[in-house]
Structure 1
Protein backbone atom coordinates (compact mmCIF):
# COMPACT_ATOMS: atom_id res chain seq x y z
CA UNK A 1 0.00 0.00 0.00
CA UNK A 2 1.64 3.22 -1.19
CA UNK A 3 -0.33 6.17 0.13
CA UNK A 4 -0.50 9.46 -1.68
CA UNK A 5 -0.94 12.28 0.84
CA UNK A 6 -2.61 15.58 0.03
CA UNK A 7 -3.50 18.59 2.11
CA UNK A 8 -5.03 20.71 -0.63
CA UNK A 9 -8.79 21.04 -1.03
CA UNK A 10 -8.56 21.52 -4.79
CA UNK A 11 -9.05 17.90 -5.82
CA UNK A 12 -11.33 16.72 -3.01
CA UNK A 13 -14.48 14.94 -4.11
CA UNK A 14 -16.78 16.01 -1.27
CA UNK A 15 -19.28 13.22 -1.98
CA UNK A 16 -16.47 10.66 -1.73
CA UNK A 17 -15.40 12.22 1.57
CA UNK A 18 -18.99 12.05 2.84
CA UNK A 19 -19.13 8.36 1.91
CA UNK A 20 -15.84 7.78 3.77
CA UNK A 21 -17.28 9.23 7.00
CA UNK A 22 -20.43 7.15 6.66
CA UNK A 23 -18.41 3.97 6.10
CA UNK A 24 -15.84 4.69 8.87
CA UNK A 25 -18.49 4.88 10.64
CA UNK A 26 -18.59 8.47 11.90
CA UNK A 27 -22.16 9.19 10.88
CA UNK A 28 -23.84 11.23 8.20
CA UNK A 29 -21.76 14.24 7.20
CA UNK A 30 -23.21 15.90 4.10
CA UNK A 31 -20.72 16.84 1.37
CA UNK A 32 -21.71 20.52 1.61
CA UNK A 33 -20.98 20.58 5.35
CA UNK A 34 -17.66 18.79 4.90
CA UNK A 35 -16.56 21.36 2.35
CA UNK A 36 -17.35 24.10 4.88
CA UNK A 37 -15.59 22.51 7.86
CA UNK A 38 -12.49 21.41 5.94
CA UNK A 39 -12.23 24.86 4.32
CA UNK A 40 -12.32 26.45 7.78
CA UNK A 41 -9.68 24.11 9.23
CA UNK A 42 -6.06 25.22 9.56
CA UNK A 43 -4.65 21.76 8.77
CA UNK A 44 -6.00 18.73 6.96
CA UNK A 45 -4.76 15.62 5.28
CA UNK A 46 -6.22 13.19 2.82
CA UNK A 47 -4.83 9.69 2.14
CA UNK A 48 -5.35 8.13 -1.28
CA UNK A 49 -4.58 4.59 -2.35
CA UNK A 50 -4.62 4.06 -6.11
CA UNK A 51 -6.67 7.24 -6.55
CA UNK A 52 -9.28 6.25 -3.96
CA UNK A 53 -9.80 8.32 -0.80
CA UNK A 54 -9.21 5.92 2.10
CA UNK A 55 -8.53 8.25 5.04
CA UNK A 56 -8.82 11.86 6.12
CA UNK A 57 -8.60 14.19 9.08
CA UNK A 58 -8.45 17.86 9.96
CA UNK A 59 -7.38 20.29 12.68
CA UNK A 60 -9.15 23.41 13.88
CA UNK A 61 -6.42 25.64 15.30
CA UNK A 62 -5.79 29.22 16.33
CA UNK A 63 -2.10 29.30 15.44
CA UNK A 64 -0.68 29.52 18.98
CA UNK A 65 -2.74 28.14 21.86
CA UNK A 66 -5.15 25.38 20.89
CA UNK A 67 -5.31 22.82 18.09
CA UNK A 68 -8.25 20.42 17.93
CA UNK A 69 -7.99 17.24 15.86
CA UNK A 70 -11.33 16.17 14.51
CA UNK A 71 -12.99 14.06 11.88
CA UNK A 72 -10.23 11.44 11.63
CA UNK A 73 -11.73 8.72 9.46
CA UNK A 74 -10.40 5.58 7.78
CA UNK A 75 -12.27 3.19 5.51
CA UNK A 76 -13.02 -0.05 7.39
CA UNK A 77 -10.90 -2.13 4.98
CA UNK A 78 -7.88 0.07 5.91
CA UNK A 79 -8.49 0.11 9.65
CA UNK A 80 -5.82 -1.78 11.55
CA UNK A 81 -3.18 -1.09 8.88
CA UNK A 82 -1.57 1.90 10.62
CA UNK A 83 -3.27 4.45 8.38
CA UNK A 84 -5.24 6.03 11.23
CA UNK A 85 -2.05 6.39 13.26
CA UNK A 86 -0.30 7.95 10.27
CA UNK A 87 -3.12 10.49 9.83
CA UNK A 88 -3.05 11.45 13.52
CA UNK A 89 0.75 11.70 13.54
CA UNK A 90 0.70 13.96 10.47
CA UNK A 91 -1.94 16.21 12.03
CA UNK A 92 -0.08 16.35 15.35
CA UNK A 93 3.15 17.27 13.54
CA UNK A 94 1.34 20.07 11.69
CA UNK A 95 -0.05 21.29 15.03
CA UNK A 96 3.33 21.56 16.78
CA UNK A 97 3.85 24.95 18.39
CA UNK A 98 0.36 25.02 19.90
CA UNK A 99 0.18 24.92 23.70
CA UNK A 100 -2.27 22.03 23.62
CA UNK A 101 -3.54 19.56 21.06
CA UNK A 102 -6.96 18.13 21.82
CA UNK A 103 -8.91 15.31 20.22
CA UNK A 104 -12.56 14.41 20.56
CA UNK A 105 -12.67 10.62 20.17
CA UNK A 106 -15.39 8.14 19.34
CA UNK A 107 -16.23 6.20 22.52
CA UNK A 108 -14.14 3.05 22.68
CA UNK A 109 -11.17 4.54 20.79
CA UNK A 110 -9.52 6.11 23.84
CA UNK A 111 -6.72 3.51 24.01
CA UNK A 112 -5.86 4.14 20.35
CA UNK A 113 -5.31 7.84 21.08
CA UNK A 114 -3.50 7.14 24.37
CA UNK A 115 -1.04 5.10 22.32
CA UNK A 116 -0.36 8.24 20.27
CA UNK A 117 0.42 10.36 23.32
CA UNK A 118 -2.99 11.79 24.20
CA UNK A 119 -4.19 11.92 27.81
CA UNK A 120 -7.73 11.86 29.21
CA UNK A 121 -8.92 15.26 30.41
CA UNK A 122 -10.68 15.78 33.71
CA UNK A 123 -12.46 18.94 32.66
CA UNK A 124 -13.68 18.38 29.11
CA UNK A 125 -17.32 19.34 28.67
CA UNK A 126 -19.61 19.88 25.69
CA UNK A 127 -22.98 21.14 24.54
CA UNK A 128 -24.52 18.98 21.81
CA UNK A 129 -27.26 20.10 19.45
CA UNK A 130 -28.80 16.61 19.77
CA UNK A 131 -28.12 15.77 23.41
CA UNK A 132 -30.19 12.56 23.34
CA UNK A 133 -28.14 11.18 20.43
CA UNK A 134 -24.88 12.14 22.18
CA UNK A 135 -26.02 10.26 25.28
CA UNK A 136 -27.11 7.24 23.22
CA UNK A 137 -23.75 7.08 21.40
CA UNK A 138 -21.76 7.34 24.64
CA UNK A 139 -20.26 10.80 24.14
CA UNK A 140 -21.79 12.30 27.27
CA UNK A 141 -23.40 10.96 30.43
CA UNK A 142 -27.07 11.46 31.14
CA UNK A 143 -27.52 14.18 33.75
Structure 2
Protein backbone atom coordinates (compact mmCIF):
# COMPACT_ATOMS: atom_id res chain seq x y z
CA UNK A 1 0.00 0.00 0.00
CA UNK A 2 1.77 3.14 -1.26
CA UNK A 3 -0.31 5.94 0.23
CA UNK A 4 0.29 9.50 -0.97
CA UNK A 5 -0.75 12.33 1.36
CA UNK A 6 -1.49 15.86 0.23
CA UNK A 7 -3.06 19.06 1.52
CA UNK A 8 -4.00 20.13 -1.99
CA UNK A 9 -7.55 19.48 -3.18
CA UNK A 10 -6.47 19.75 -6.83
CA UNK A 11 -6.57 15.98 -7.54
CA UNK A 12 -9.75 15.29 -5.57
CA UNK A 13 -12.68 13.78 -7.44
CA UNK A 14 -15.41 15.30 -5.26
CA UNK A 15 -18.04 12.79 -6.34
CA UNK A 16 -15.68 9.93 -5.39
CA UNK A 17 -15.11 11.58 -2.02
CA UNK A 18 -18.88 11.85 -1.61
CA UNK A 19 -19.15 8.12 -2.24
CA UNK A 20 -16.43 7.48 0.35
CA UNK A 21 -18.47 9.32 2.99
CA UNK A 22 -21.52 7.29 2.01
CA UNK A 23 -19.81 3.89 2.32
CA UNK A 24 -17.80 4.75 5.47
CA UNK A 25 -20.74 5.26 6.51
CA UNK A 26 -20.71 8.94 7.47
CA UNK A 27 -23.80 10.18 5.68
CA UNK A 28 -24.72 11.67 2.36
CA UNK A 29 -22.65 14.70 1.44
CA UNK A 30 -22.69 15.78 -2.19
CA UNK A 31 -19.48 16.37 -4.07
CA UNK A 32 -20.35 20.04 -4.42
CA UNK A 33 -21.07 20.32 -0.69
CA UNK A 34 -17.70 18.70 0.14
CA UNK A 35 -15.84 20.92 -2.31
CA UNK A 36 -17.30 24.01 -0.63
CA UNK A 37 -16.63 22.72 2.89
CA UNK A 38 -13.02 21.74 2.16
CA UNK A 39 -12.37 24.97 0.25
CA UNK A 40 -13.48 26.98 3.27
CA UNK A 41 -11.29 25.01 5.70
CA UNK A 42 -7.85 26.23 6.78
CA UNK A 43 -6.37 22.72 6.95
CA UNK A 44 -7.15 19.67 4.86
CA UNK A 45 -5.55 16.29 4.27
CA UNK A 46 -6.23 13.70 1.60
CA UNK A 47 -4.77 10.21 1.28
CA UNK A 48 -4.61 8.56 -2.13
CA UNK A 49 -3.87 4.98 -3.11
CA UNK A 50 -3.06 5.50 -6.76
CA UNK A 51 -5.80 7.78 -8.05
CA UNK A 52 -8.37 6.70 -5.43
CA UNK A 53 -8.98 8.90 -2.38
CA UNK A 54 -9.01 6.54 0.62
CA UNK A 55 -8.99 8.98 3.55
CA UNK A 56 -9.68 12.65 4.11
CA UNK A 57 -10.30 15.18 6.83
CA UNK A 58 -10.31 18.90 7.43
CA UNK A 59 -10.03 21.51 10.15
CA UNK A 60 -11.95 24.77 10.25
CA UNK A 61 -9.58 27.12 12.05
CA UNK A 62 -9.09 30.82 12.77
CA UNK A 63 -5.31 30.73 13.16
CA UNK A 64 -5.13 31.55 16.88
CA UNK A 65 -7.98 30.39 19.10
CA UNK A 66 -9.91 27.42 17.74
CA UNK A 67 -9.36 24.63 15.26
CA UNK A 68 -12.27 22.25 14.72
CA UNK A 69 -11.47 18.87 13.17
CA UNK A 70 -14.34 17.53 11.11
CA UNK A 71 -15.39 15.25 8.27
CA UNK A 72 -12.77 12.63 9.16
CA UNK A 73 -13.24 9.63 6.86
CA UNK A 74 -11.31 6.45 6.04
CA UNK A 75 -12.37 3.94 3.38
CA UNK A 76 -13.72 0.79 5.08
CA UNK A 77 -11.11 -1.38 3.32
CA UNK A 78 -8.35 0.78 4.84
CA UNK A 79 -9.72 1.07 8.37
CA UNK A 80 -7.42 -0.52 10.91
CA UNK A 81 -4.28 0.15 8.81
CA UNK A 82 -3.16 3.29 10.66
CA UNK A 83 -4.51 5.76 8.10
CA UNK A 84 -7.01 7.24 10.56
CA UNK A 85 -4.29 7.67 13.16
CA UNK A 86 -2.00 9.36 10.64
CA UNK A 87 -4.83 11.61 9.44
CA UNK A 88 -5.81 12.78 12.93
CA UNK A 89 -2.20 13.31 13.99
CA UNK A 90 -1.46 15.39 10.90
CA UNK A 91 -4.53 17.61 11.46
CA UNK A 92 -3.62 18.01 15.15
CA UNK A 93 -0.06 18.94 14.13
CA UNK A 94 -1.35 21.48 11.59
CA UNK A 95 -3.59 22.92 14.31
CA UNK A 96 -0.76 23.40 16.84
CA UNK A 97 -0.67 26.93 18.20
CA UNK A 98 -4.45 27.18 18.55
CA UNK A 99 -5.67 27.52 22.13
CA UNK A 100 -8.05 24.63 21.61
CA UNK A 101 -8.53 21.85 19.09
CA UNK A 102 -12.08 20.50 19.03
CA UNK A 103 -13.87 17.64 17.29
CA UNK A 104 -17.01 15.71 17.76
CA UNK A 105 -16.96 12.01 17.10
CA UNK A 106 -19.37 9.42 15.86
CA UNK A 107 -20.83 7.96 19.08
CA UNK A 108 -18.70 5.05 20.22
CA UNK A 109 -15.49 6.30 18.58
CA UNK A 110 -14.45 8.53 21.50
CA UNK A 111 -11.75 6.08 22.74
CA UNK A 112 -9.95 6.36 19.37
CA UNK A 113 -9.71 10.15 19.69
CA UNK A 114 -8.76 10.01 23.38
CA UNK A 115 -5.41 8.50 22.28
CA UNK A 116 -4.57 11.90 20.75
CA UNK A 117 -5.39 13.81 23.93
CA UNK A 118 -9.01 14.70 23.19
CA UNK A 119 -11.18 14.81 26.29
CA UNK A 120 -14.92 15.07 26.79
CA UNK A 121 -16.20 18.60 27.23
CA UNK A 122 -18.80 19.39 29.85
CA UNK A 123 -20.21 22.41 28.06
CA UNK A 124 -20.29 21.50 24.37
CA UNK A 125 -23.61 22.28 22.73
CA UNK A 126 -24.84 22.35 19.13
CA UNK A 127 -27.73 23.39 16.95
CA UNK A 128 -28.35 20.75 14.26
CA UNK A 129 -30.34 21.31 11.09
CA UNK A 130 -32.21 18.05 11.89
CA UNK A 131 -32.37 17.85 15.70
CA UNK A 132 -34.44 14.64 15.71
CA UNK A 133 -31.86 12.83 13.55
CA UNK A 134 -29.00 14.15 15.71
CA UNK A 135 -30.73 12.75 18.79
CA UNK A 136 -31.53 9.43 17.09
CA UNK A 137 -27.90 9.10 15.94
CA UNK A 138 -26.67 9.69 19.50
CA UNK A 139 -25.13 13.15 19.02
CA UNK A 140 -27.51 15.00 21.35
CA UNK A 141 -29.73 14.20 24.28
TM-score with structure 1 setting the length:
0.97
Deviation at 1:12, TM superposition (A): 1.0
Deviation at 1:101, TM superposition (A): 0.3
Deviation at 1:64, TM superposition (A): 0.2
CA distance in 2, matches of 1:25, 1:116: 23
Q: Deviations over 1:38-90 (max 9, x none)?
A: 00000000001122110000000000000000000001111111110100000
- Please tell me the root mean square deviation across aligned C-alpha atoms, in Å: 0.7
Q: Deviations over 1:89-117 (max 9, x none)?
A: 00000001100000111111000000121
Deviation at 1:9, TM superposition (A): 1.5
Alignment of 1:39-58 (within 5 A): 39-58=39-58
CA distance in 2, matches of 1:49, 1:2: 6
CA distance in 1, matches of 2:9, 2:76: 23
> Is residue 139 of structure 2 the alignment partner of residue 139 of structure 1?
yes
Q: Deviations over 1:14-57 (max 9, x none)?
A: 00110111111100001110010000000000001122110000
Alignment of 1:96-115 (within 5 A): 96-115=96-115
| 5+ residue gaps, structure 2 | none
Aligned length: 141
CA distance in 1, matches of 2:36, 2:50: 26
Q: Which residue of 2 aligns with 1:21?
A: 21
> Is residue 72 of structure 2 the alignment partner of residue 72 of structure 1?
yes
| 5+ residue gaps, structure 1 | none
Q: Which residue of 2 aligns with 1:86?
A: 86
CA distance in 2, matches of 1:61, 1:114: 21
CA distance in 2, matches of 1:136, 1:53: 30
TM-score with structure 2 setting the length:
0.98
Q: Which residue of 2 aligns with 1:2?
A: 2
